[in-house]
Amino acid sequence: MRALLLLAVLTSSALAQQTTLPLWPNGNPEPSKIVGPEMDPTTDADRIVSGKPVVRVTNISKPTLTVYPPPAGKNNGAAALVLPGGSYIRLAIVVEGTEVCDWLNSLGMTCILVKYRVPEDGHYPENVEDLEDAQQAMRITRAHAAEWHIDPSRIGAIGFSAGAHLAAVLSTHPDFQGKNVPPTTIDARPNFQMILYPGWLNGSDGKVHPSLQPTAEIPPTFLVQAENDYTAHVENSLIYFLALKNAKVPAELHIFTQGGHGFGLRPTDLPISHWPTLAETWLHTIHILGPPGPVGRP
């Protein structure tokens, strides 16, 4: 029953001409510890979000990326990796995945939905599988840029919750070299990042986590979080924004009084539901969308 629901929900999104590729066609860099097939762990108690059903996926031992191109004639060359959240235990593959692809496609952007390995024992820096998967997704995307009609200098990373943490890790450590990953010259750093209700960005000392200390090389950043986010806590965005400011990285921060956690793009009566409009304007200001111009810093 859950498999049928998964298929029904995922096929409700704009899936025309989608392409799915394995991140590691010759096998993962590390032996998998995942037992059992992919499944949806969602229960009846947490099936509905903002009045609509959701699907989550766990036991992902064979990570993939799926390309969602914009409608014919609408492609503007910009693209983004989408990294769903789920505490590095599961992935919110609809609310923070396919629905985000629908939105990006409406802007003329190509969406690259990344299904990275979960669950894993911890996350970067204790565990490197998540970063390796994100790096590989970006490198595959840039390697196929011409084929997928993407400008390789306008590819960002958009993450939600744990996926927001992973986007920040990718932006900070694009050159990390895994022990069993073949060296490559393809750049894995995003050209912009959008960080939505992130976790694990702040350290124990009230400052940004040492593994995420920004440098001037971090791309332009857009942050959104609710003050009443009791899952990830708003301090993650506040502390990270201040660290970006100190590193002189262009950043835009939006903190809303209400919104909680895990809202994605689903509309509510709360002002936080308008964040996609703010994000679209920001994408124009950094020249990812709109007339040709310098990408990233002005």
**Hey, is 287 helix, strand or coil?**
coil
pLDDT of residue 102: 97
pLDDT of residue 154: 98
Q: How far apart are CA 154 and CA 152, in angstroms?
A: 6
pLDDT of residue 205: 87
pLDDT over 50 (residue 15): no
Domains of the chain: 58-285 (3.40.50.1820)
The model's pLDDT over 263-297, given as tens digits with 9 standing for 90+, comes to 999 999 999 999 999 999 999 999 999 754 433 33
pLDDT over 60 (residue 155): yes
pLDDT over 50 (residue 11): no
* Mean pLDDT on 219-237: 97
Mean pLDDT of the chain: 91
The model's pLDDT over 184-218, given as tens digits with 9 standing for 90+, comes to 999 999 999 999 999 999 988 889 999 999 999 99
pLDDT over 70 (residue 2): no
* Mean pLDDT on 17-25: 93
pLDDT over 50 (residue 171): yes
Sign of CA pseudo-dihedral 100, 138, 188, 28: positive
The model's pLDDT over 136-151, given as tens digits with 9 standing for 90+, comes to 999 999 999 999 999 9
**Global confidence as pTM:** 0.91
pLDDT of residue 201: 97
Q: How far apart are CA 194 and CA 190, in angstroms?
A: 10
**Hey, is 182 helix, strand or coil?**
coil
